[in-house]
Amino acid sequence: MNYQGNIFRPPSEANSILLQVTTGCSHNKCTFCGMYKGVRFSIKSDSIIATDIEFAASHCRRQNRLFLCDGDALIIPHERLVRILQSIREKLPWLTRIGAYANTKGIARKSPEQLRELHDLGLSILYMGLESGDDVTLKNISKGADARQMIEMGRKVRAAGIKLSITVLLGIAGKDRSSVHARETGRVLTAIDPEYVGALSLMLTPGTPLHQDWQTGHFQLPGSTEMLAELRLMLSETELTDGYFHANHASNYLPIKAKLPNDKAQTLRIIDAALQGEIGLKPEYLRGL
């Protein structure tokens, strides 16, 4: 497989075929993210993609999922993306799922009919970084979209029949806006009603603008107990029709996995027990990005 630079994928795609169709991220301005710093966004050539699909057809027959890397596959012009998915379907007919990262800009460029066509060709899950439902926080971290746009684009994906996995970041609003961030994020998640929510705890990456703000005292990072309280409030404000709310990423202090609405009350009780010191939190040295 032809890989250029570092390859990133969601934890749930650990066993997937990783087909790199783009390099970098077309937005690449989020103040907390160092994943694609110094990497120029580009769409890889059709010939390289075709060669990699042929390689997967010969050497990846035990894997039944495929993930389109890197950070922004949905930004690929529609007809070209259709051809890629058609080739995947032809050469790898045993696949049960194709996934990709998506941001509001990429989703906005696709019409509802185009999204449904991509779904019919096998694109069955998209991963979208919401980070926060608080407009002030979204502006501060240079996310490139506000809560209204996040809701609109999230609903657009779901209406096309594509499953949606949304990432939120505990601690991203700092100490001052922690409760606002938690409540507003719960409100936006409820409005979108995705199949999956993944809550990560912020870990500052050296070299990013947010890390520099922390070093100069302009950003105050909430501590473990504060992030846990933020998680509790966010979960309490989130209503999902039939979805999972996970906080079991390596960055989190307390792993939780809840199916909403059934597990919500019990999960809140678990968080309360941790806040009261009855359940231990993960030590800092065991946390990871």
DSSP line for 137-163: HHHHTT-S--HHHHHHHHHHHHHTT-E
Residue 196 is predicted with a pLDDT of 98
User: Per-residue pLDDT averaged across 243-264, rounded?
Assistant: 94
| 121 within 8 A of 85, measured Cβ to Cβ | yes
3.40.190.10, 3.30.300.30, 3.40.50.300, 3.20.20.70: CATH of 11-281:
3.20.20.70
Residue 289 is predicted with a pLDDT of 67
User: Per-residue pLDDT averaged across 9-32, rounded?
Assistant: 93
**CA neighbours within 13 Å on the CB side: how many for 169?**
25
| 111 within 8 A of 155, measured Cβ to Cβ | no
Q: With b meaning 16 or more CB within 10 Å and e meaning fewer, what string describes 191-224? A: bbbbbbbbbbbbbbeeebbbbebbeeeebebbeb
Sign of CA dihedral 270, 273, 277, 278: negative
On average, the pLDDT of the chain sits at: 95
pLDDT band at 188 (very low <50, low <70, confident <90, very high): very high
Among candidates 137, 199, 141, which has minimal Cα distance to 165? 199
DSSP class of residue 172 equals T
- What is the C-alpha separation between 222 and 246, in angstroms, rounded? 20
Q: Which of 23-32, 80-89, 147-156 is predicted least confidently?
A: 23-32
